[in-house]
Amino acid sequence: MDFSKYFKKKNDSKVKNFSKLEIFEKVNDEELIEVSGGNFSSNLRQKRAIAGLTQKELGKLLYSSKQAVCNWEHGRREPSLEVVQEMANVFKCSIDDLLKDSENIN
């Protein structure tokens, strides 16, 4: 997925880069699922989308922040084993279902 469409270009002739987030908040869950962040990250995004939860709602259920959920979904951080177990409880699945390499999980 090309995220450049979500950024405004700087009006600087020397440096052509992207500087400001434009409409990134409007990216839907289906688009986020396409972003590769590893098996766990992809599975977490997909499970959350199927459950109809926002990152903020899942964070509250896990006693974490929206930012923590975002970091897990993008592969920047990994949750503790206790949090992964709680995720499995929330999604009514096994820990293996969250960690395994799978194209299409339920």
- The CATH code of the domain that includes 102 is 1.10.260.40
How much is the pLDDT for 29?
56
Q: Do 57 and 78 share a domain, yes or no?
A: yes
Which residue range(s) make up the domain with 8?
1-27
- Domains: count for the chain: 2
Say what the pTM is: 0.62
Do 61 and 103 belong to one domain?
A: yes
Q: Which residues contact 91 (CB under 8 A, 6 or more apart)?
A: 47, 51, 97, 98
pLDDT digits (tens, 9 = 90+) for 4-61: 554 444 454 444 444 444 445 555 655 555 544 458 999 999 999 999 999 999 999 9
Kindly report the backbone phi and psi dihedral angles of residue 42, in degrees, each rounded to the nearest multiple of 5, phi listed first: -65, -45
Q: What is the pLDDT of residue 2?
A: 52
